[in-house]
Amino acid sequence: MSEIAINPMTGKRVKIGTCSSMYYLRFEQRFDVQPLPGNVDPAKEADSLWFRLPDPDEDGTAPGEFDYRGPFGARPVPVFVPETVRGPDGRDVENPIWTKHRAELAEAEAGNIQLRTESGILVNAPCFHGIAKELPRGMFYNGHVAHQLAAFAVGVRNGAPVVLVGCRYCGRALFYYDIPEFRETFRPWGDFRERFASLLERLEGYAESLRAKRA
């Protein structure tokens, strides 16, 4: 179900999202639209919604005027959990955060990737988000990508900003993290360091605005 609002600056009706996903609305824009009756009110219902990931390249875009570029609207920010850390003796040891994270991924619901053959056959391939599980008969691994996650969207839970993380291959949303958890758990892929740093900076700004509102 599409969620429609009015942009008071233009008087235009704009689509801001679908159900709880505000694909075309940033968190800081939630007060910049007037919801139509029967549609979600992003200002009042922010704690149950997911908002568009802030991308510096999209700064200045009006609510409802964004392009759809990936799961939850914006271009995802690929992230990974380091498998090892430097131990007290200087040697690499398994990262306990990775151990916990891998166990959580193993329990996560599988996603689905639809593939089309040149002969016109559609195949639904299971996606285990980086965990090497047994595949259906006739399928096999040709190399294995262990790190498949990305930041998809932002929201507010329990009064604090959070980041929604999911699988960048199948698009399934998996977990959300508050700012300290996200910073401690994940690292950016090399080409996405600037966007990762920008995301953390925006999240801190959201946290500050929420604290100011409560004061």
CA pair distance 107, 94, nearest whole angstrom: 20
CA pair distance 165, 159, nearest whole angstrom: 19
| For range 9-33, the mean pLDDT | 94
Place of tokens 């704009």: 14
Q: Is the pLDDT of residue 215 over 70?
A: no
Question: What pLDDT is stored for residue 139 in this prediction?
Answer: 87
CA pair distance 27, 194, nearest whole angstrom: 20
pLDDT in tens, 157-187: 999 999 999 999 999 999 999 999 999 999 9
Question: What pLDDT is stored for residue 117 in this prediction?
Answer: 86
Question: What pLDDT is stored for residue 138 in this prediction?
Answer: 86
Q: Are 99 and 93 in contact (CB under 8 A)?
A: no
Amino acid code (one letter) for 104: E
Q: Are 65 and 24 in contact (CB under 8 A)?
A: yes
Of 39, 89, 50, 55, the residue nearest 72 (C-alpha)? 50
In this structure, what are the phi and psi dihedrals at residue 18, rounded to the nearest 5 degrees? -135, 120
CA pair distance 139, 116, nearest whole angstrom: 14
Q: What is the pTM of this model?
A: 0.92
Amino acid code (one letter) for 102: R
Is the Cα torsion angle 18, 47, 110, 76 positive or negative in sign? Answer: positive
| For range 64-84, the mean pLDDT | 94
Q: Are 33 and 5 in contact (CB under 8 A)?
A: yes
